[in-house]
């Protein structure tokens, strides 16, 4: 590429994660040589070097010089290895090796000195860590020289002037502008690429001062400002500025464009990808910053500039900072004390402590704000001394600190003009069980920030990310979401039927999307949704007896609770857990609610188990604003529970619900009524798949009792399953037999059944297995009902429920229809899912 002298340069900064080793150096050189000239390069220390040097220096000052010596040995070897890998020319290699040896030999001497002095001042700390950037920049320069790019290493102290606040120095921009132009412009004019160590500057006395952690980004923008660069490119180990920290939200998406104010806010509140002060030097200048992927240099990355934000994306991204302490200055007498706020922040300013969030005070009785944990003690001392007089007089109670917190910021320029954002954020947090300690004053219109327990910070970020669908292009808005994520617990016949129905189901609101299926051995999960084809393949494998854990993409876990916990760690969109098992799933259901999932139950056991457990589940759901729908627990797809609630909501009172709710028993008894033998009737039921594997599970009446208990509990029945009177149809003589023995001896019981049917017929009655539920009593058993009863007309596996209410007393309300089978049950579950999906979209 022809070099255009005296043109405005491009500034390229390579982050530490990119320059991790020799291969990183070589890649940096390859990337750079393809970039338009003129170019300026800024280099960070190789990954982990700054941390290691700092830790070693602290150890040495604590009296352990060998720790720093060991660090020096390791780092020396890493740099030598990188040089050996990246530097093809012997001359370059020799110079680099000499610089490396010198840097670490000096460290050896320093280790000794520190351990004697027992003190690590910010100034000596800066002196020590600076070698990380210096060596790295030398290696980058040498690597470029090896591929014939004309380069010159220029030390940062030659060009970046600072105020000398060691550890967190502030650049003197005007002085720096002059120094940069004087030193770099002539190089650029000659077609030479200057390579400058990042993070460093010169204190007024000539010493080296660092610009604060992550300061190489700032070096890049300082140089860009002075040289009126075309653009600053920050080469990162991530593909750009993401909607959230990818270590917290793996599905975070690259933002194509971000306004400078948004980027500054996110960086300030913990988005480590950009130094919080990096944007300051470019204020008022039209120099865009581009964050690009070191591992994918062709990808566009993120442009941070003053271009208008893309419309329709009110919420752009979320960031979080942990290790925060909240400080409260409170007291009844504060109203009368002049200038409390000004004095509070004045005292902190004096101490050089920056306050990250000031919370809304409900009254003027307190001021709350957060500071980084390590400055909390100093902050408290400063405030106690500033308000010493008022504290003595009792006007101010004192200064309280609450450690272990995190500050989270939800950022986007369009937020102020879009109603409902805060409501949505705080609803999402409530659903996730995240306790909000404080909410920030709405000082800036592009940010909603709040404080939570540090332990809940990741969960909070994921929730909000999911709520605004930031993982999708077009996310970030408050319009109804495109999808509702469904997790299936149990993948038997009903689950498989449901996966067949879902793609064809017409949705009034959000599209229902199955993201995970769980069985006893593990799960298959894809946060982007399992395609119908994949579900069909899984269903076929499952029907053939293969566990999900062994399916492609399957994950083995010790149980459903583990599977659910794994899945719930992701940012799902309005998730719903569907329990299609017949197991005791209470713990898993609790975890689902705690993770913000609504529940759809086809499983009766959680509602027919211990009453206390059932109530606890309901209370948990209520506290999170979540719903538990369970239409299919009684009467499969028939609208039973729905009818109950419709009656109650219309002001009616349901007095009793009677029913024939067992398709199996209904079938067997109506066959017997027609004169068929018991053994024949049961064999037919089994061959149609109407029974449990052991038909005695149906005949025992336990399943009907569970349904009756669920209905009874709706009506206020306070008892347990053991309080339900159950008449079993398994003859005492058959109870001890094995399944095979029982099935082999069915004809033994024919005579007895024939007699019972004949007696009933003679009295103009038929036999039915009936359940009765009121607020006081729940019972299930065989009943001879008059031929005129609606129960008598039931055919096959049909179910029937009779509601006697205050309004429907003489002429009860009857619901009849097919009450068993995978297809009708799956349809009922689908109905519940659709109700939840449309409920969610109405809430917005």
Question: Of 238 and 778, which has the nearer Cβ to ligand ADP?
Answer: 238
Task: Report the nearest approach of ligand ADP to the CB of residue 213 (Å).
Answer: 8
Start-to-end CA span in the chain (Å):
54
**# residues near Mg ion by CB under 5 A:** 1
Per the CB < 8 A criterion, the answer to whether 329 and 278 are in contact is no
Helix (H, G, I), strand (E, B) or coil at 104: helix
From the list ligand ADP, Mg ion, ligand ASP, none, partner contacted by residue 244 (C-beta under 5 to 8 A by kind): ligand ADP
From the list Mg ion, ligand ADP, ligand ASP, none, partner contacted by residue 213 (C-beta under 5 to 8 A by kind): ligand ASP
**For this structure, is 707 an active site residue?**
yes
Please state, as a whole number, how many other Cβ atoms lie within 10 Å of the Cβ of residue 649.
Answer: 8
Query: Would you tell me which residues interact with ligand ASP (CB under 6 A)?
Result: 16, 44-45, 50, 132, 198-199, 213-217
Q: Is 575 in the site for Mg ion (CB under 5 A)?
A: no
Q: Report, in angstroms and rounded to the nearest whole number, the Rg of the chain calculated over CA atoms.
A: 36
Exactly one of 272, 604, 707, 809 is catalytic; which is it?
A: 707
Per the CB < 8 A criterion, the answer to whether 358 and 441 are in contact is yes
Helix (H, G, I), strand (E, B) or coil at 23: helix
From the list ligand ASP, Mg ion, ligand ADP, none, partner contacted by residue 307 (C-beta under 5 to 8 A by kind): none
**Mutual orientation of helices 216-226 and 173-189 as an angle, nearest 10°?**
70
Nearest alpha-carbon partner for 129 in 216, 204, 64: 216
Question: What is the rounded CA–CA span in Å between residue 731 and residue 346?
Answer: 86
- For Mg ion, the binding residues in 200-259 under the rule CB under 5 A are 214
Question: Of 107 and 767, which has the nearer Cβ to ligand ASP?
Answer: 107
Question: Of 125 and 662, which has the nearer Cβ to ligand ASP?
Answer: 125
Q: Is 477 in the site for Mg ion (CB under 5 A)?
A: no
Residue 393 host element (H or E): helix 388-393
Burial class (CB in 10 A: 0-12, 13-18, 19+), 751: exposed
Q: Is 197 in the site for Mg ion (CB under 5 A)?
A: no
From the list Mg ion, ligand ADP, ligand ASP, none, partner contacted by residue 246 (C-beta under 5 to 8 A by kind): ligand ADP
From the list Mg ion, ligand ASP, ligand ADP, none, partner contacted by residue 215 (C-beta under 5 to 8 A by kind): ligand ASP
Burial class (CB in 10 A: 0-12, 13-18, 19+), 336: exposed
Task: Report the nearest approach of Mg ion to the CB of residue 131 (Å).
Answer: 18
Q: Sort residue 360 into left (φ over 0), alpha (ψ -120 to 50) or beta.
A: beta
What residues contact 323, with CB distance under 8 A and at least 6 apart? 372, 373, 374, 406, 454
Question: Of 124 and 136, which has the nearer Cβ to ligand ADP?
Answer: 136
Please state, as a whole number, how many other Cβ atoms lie within 10 Å of the Cβ of residue 683.
Answer: 15
Residue 289 host element (H or E): strand 289-293
From the list Mg ion, ligand ADP, ligand ASP, none, partner contacted by residue 136 (C-beta under 5 to 8 A by kind): none
Question: What is the rounded CA–CA span in Å between residue 130 and residue 157?
Answer: 11
Kindly state the DSSP code that residue 13 receives in the 8-state scheme: E
Task: Report the nearest approach of Mg ion to the CB of residue 58 (Å).
Answer: 21
Per the CB < 8 A criterion, the answer to whether 155 and 207 are in contact is no
From the list ligand ASP, Mg ion, ligand ADP, none, partner contacted by residue 144 (C-beta under 5 to 8 A by kind): none
Question: Of 273 and 705, which has the nearer Cβ to Mg ion?
Answer: 273
**Residue, CB closest to ligand ASP:** 216
Question: Of 254 and 278, which has the nearer Cβ to Mg ion?
Answer: 278
Q: What are phi and psi of 782, to 5 degrees?
A: -80, 145
Task: Report the nearest approach of ligand ASP to the CB of residue 91 (Å).
Answer: 28
* CA distances for 477 relative to 108, 374, 511, angstroms: 56, 37, 17
Task: Report the nearest approach of ligand ADP to the CB of residue 470 (Å).
Answer: 10
From the list ligand ASP, ligand ADP, Mg ion, none, partner contacted by residue 50 (C-beta under 5 to 8 A by kind): ligand ASP
Task: Report the nearest approach of ligand ASP to the CB of residue 132 (Å).
Answer: 6
Per the CB < 8 A criterion, the answer to whether 454 and 322 are in contact is yes
Task: Report the nearest approach of Mg ion to the CB of residue 262 (Å).
Answer: 18
Question: Of 92 and 126, which has the nearer Cβ to ligand ASP?
Answer: 126
From the list ligand ASP, ligand ADP, Mg ion, none, partner contacted by residue 236 (C-beta under 5 to 8 A by kind): ligand ADP
DSSP result, 523-578: EEE-TT---HHHHHHHHHHHHTT--GGGSTTEEE-SSHHHHHHHHHTS--SS-EEE
* CA distances for 334 relative to 343, 369, 403, 476, 808, angstroms: 12, 16, 24, 41, 64
**Residue, CB closest to ligand ADP:** 15
Task: Report the nearest approach of Mg ion to the CB of residue 291 (Å).
Answer: 11
Kindly state the DSSP code that residue 450 receives in the 8-state scheme: E
Q: Is 276 in the site for Mg ion (CB under 5 A)?
A: no
From the list Mg ion, ligand ASP, ligand ADP, none, partner contacted by residue 45 (C-beta under 5 to 8 A by kind): ligand ASP
Query: Would you tell me which residues interact with ligand ADP (CB under 6 A)?
Result: 15-18, 44, 214, 236-238, 241-242, 244-247, 271-273, 317
Question: Of 160 and 608, which has the nearer Cβ to ligand ADP?
Answer: 160
Task: Report the nearest approach of ligand ADP to the CB of residue 319 (Å).
Answer: 6
Question: Of 164 and 214, which has the nearer Cβ to Mg ion?
Answer: 214
* CA distances for 81 relative to 76, 87, 93, 294, 650, angstroms: 9, 10, 11, 21, 79
Q: Is 270 in the site for Mg ion (CB under 5 A)?
A: no
Task: Report the nearest approach of ligand ADP to the CB of residue 173 (Å).
Answer: 22
User: Tokens representing 77?
Assistant: 């070897």
From the list Mg ion, ligand ASP, ligand ADP, none, partner contacted by residue 666 (C-beta under 5 to 8 A by kind): none
Question: Of 50 and 143, which has the nearer Cβ to ligand ASP?
Answer: 50
What residues contact 335, with CB distance under 8 A and at least 6 apart? 364, 365
Q: What are phi and psi of 772, to 5 degrees?
A: -130, 130
Question: What is the rounded CA–CA span in Å between residue 505 and residue 500?
Answer: 9
Question: Of 297 and 559, which has the nearer Cβ to ligand ADP?
Answer: 297
User: Tokens representing 820?
Assistant: 């068993």
Task: Report the nearest approach of ligand ADP to the CB of residue 218 (Å).
Answer: 11
Catalytic residue numbers, as ranges: 707
Chain positions contacting Mg ion, by CB under 5 A: 214
């Amino acid at each position: 590429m022809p070099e255009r002298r005296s043109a405005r340069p491009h500034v390229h900064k390579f982050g530490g994660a990119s320059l991790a080793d020799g291969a990183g150096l070589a890649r940096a050189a390859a990337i750079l040589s393809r970039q338009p000239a003129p170019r300026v390069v800024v280099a960070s220390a190789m990954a982990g070097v700054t941390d290691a040097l700092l830790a070693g220096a602290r150890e040495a000052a604590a009296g352990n010089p060998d720790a720093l010596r060991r660090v020096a040995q390791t780092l020396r070897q890493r740099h030598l290895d990188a040089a050996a890998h990246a530097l093809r020319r012997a001359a370059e290699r020799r110079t680099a090796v000499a610089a490396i040896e010198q840097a670490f030999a000096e460290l050896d001497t320093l280790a000794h000195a520190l351990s004697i002095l027992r003190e690590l001042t910010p100034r000596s700390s800066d002196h020590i860590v600076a070698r990380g950037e210096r060596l790295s920049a030398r290696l980058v320069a040498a690597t470029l020289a090896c591929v014939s790019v004309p380069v010159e290493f220029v030390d940062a102290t030659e060009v970046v002037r600072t105020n000398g606040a060691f550890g967190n120095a502030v650049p003197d921009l005007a002085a720096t502008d002059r120094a940069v132009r004087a030193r770099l412009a002539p190089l650029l004019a000659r077609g030479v690429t200057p390579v400058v160590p990042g993070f460093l500057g010169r204190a007024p006395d000539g010493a080296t001062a660092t610009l604060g952690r992550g300061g190489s980004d700032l070096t890049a923008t300082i140089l860009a400002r002075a040289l009126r660069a075309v653009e600053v490119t920050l080469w990162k180990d991530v593909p750009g500025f993401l909607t959230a920290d990818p270590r917290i939200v793996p599905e975070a998406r690259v933002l194509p464009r971000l306004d400078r104010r948004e980027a500054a806010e996110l960086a300030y509140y913990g988005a480590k990808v950009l130094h919080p002060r990096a944007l300051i030097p470019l204020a008022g200048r039209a120099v865009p910053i581009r964050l690009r992927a070191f591992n994918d240099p062709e990808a566009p990355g993120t442009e941070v500039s003053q271009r208008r934000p893309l419309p329709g994306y009110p919420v752009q991204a979320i960031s979080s900072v942990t290790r925060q302490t909240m400080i409260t200055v409170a007291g009844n007498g504060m109203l009368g004390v002049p200038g409390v706020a000004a004095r509070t922040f004045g005292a902190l300013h004096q101490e050089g402590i920056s306050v990250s969030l000031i919370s809304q005070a409900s009254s003027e009785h307190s001021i709350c704000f957060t500071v980084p944990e390590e400055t909390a003690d100093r902050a408290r001392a400063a405030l106690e001394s500033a308000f010493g007089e008022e504290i003595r007089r009792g006007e101010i109670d004192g200064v309280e600190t609450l450690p272990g917190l995190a500050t989270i910021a939800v950022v986007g320029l369009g937020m102020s003009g879009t109603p409902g954002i805060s409501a949505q954020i705080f609803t999402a947090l409530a659903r996730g069980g995240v306790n909000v300690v404080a909410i920030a004053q709405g000082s800036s219109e592009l940010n909603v920030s709040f404080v939570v327990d540090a332990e809940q910070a990741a969960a909070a970020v994921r929730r909000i990310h999911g709520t605004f669908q930031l993982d999708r292009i077009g996310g970030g808005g408050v319009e109804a979401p495109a999808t509702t994520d469904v997790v299936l617990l149990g993948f038997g016949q009903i689950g498989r039927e449901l996966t067949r129905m879902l793609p064809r189901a017409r949705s009034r609101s959000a599209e229902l999307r199955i993201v995970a299926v769980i069985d006893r051995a593990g799960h298959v999960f894809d946060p982007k949704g399992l395609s119908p084809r994949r579900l069909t393949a899984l269903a076929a494998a499952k029907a053939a007896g293969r566990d999900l854990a062994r399916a492609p993409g399957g994950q083995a876990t010790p149980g459903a609770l583990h599977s659910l916990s794994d899945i719930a760690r992701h940012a799902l969109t309005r998730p719903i857990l569907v329990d299609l098992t017949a197991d005791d799933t209470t713990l898993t259901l609790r975890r689902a609610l705690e993770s913000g999932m609504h529940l759809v139950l086809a499983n009766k056991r959680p509602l027919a188990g211990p009453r206390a457990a059932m109530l606890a589940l309901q209370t948990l759901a209520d506290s999170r604003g979540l719903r538990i729908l369970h239409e299919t627990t009684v009467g499969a797809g028939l609208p039973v529970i729905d009818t109950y609630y419709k009656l109650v909501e219309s002001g009616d009172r349901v007095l009793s619900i009677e029913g024939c709710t067992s398709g199996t028993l209904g079938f067997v008894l109506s066959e017997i009524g027609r004169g068929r033998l018991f053994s024949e009737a049961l064999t037919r039921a089994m061959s149609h798949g109407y029974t449990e594997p052991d038909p005695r599970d149906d005949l025992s009446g336990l399943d009907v009792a569970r349904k009756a208990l669920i209905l009874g509990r709706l009506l206020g029945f306070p008892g347990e399953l053991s309080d339900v009177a159950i008449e079993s149809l398994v003859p005492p003589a058959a109870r001890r037999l094995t399944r095979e023995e029982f099935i082999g001896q069915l004809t033994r019981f024919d005579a007895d059944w024939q007699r019972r049917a004949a007696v009933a017929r003679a009295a103009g009655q038929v036999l039915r297995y009936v359940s009765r539920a009121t607020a006081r009593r729940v019972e299930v058993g065989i009943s001879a009902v008059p031929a005129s009863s609606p129960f008598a007309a039931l055919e096959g596996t049909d179910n029937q429920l009779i509601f006697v209410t205050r309004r429907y007393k003489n002429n009860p309300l009857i619901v009849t229809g097919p009450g068993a089978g995978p297809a009708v049950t799956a349809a009922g579950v689908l109905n519940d899912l659709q109700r939840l999906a449309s409920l969610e979209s109405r809430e917005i």
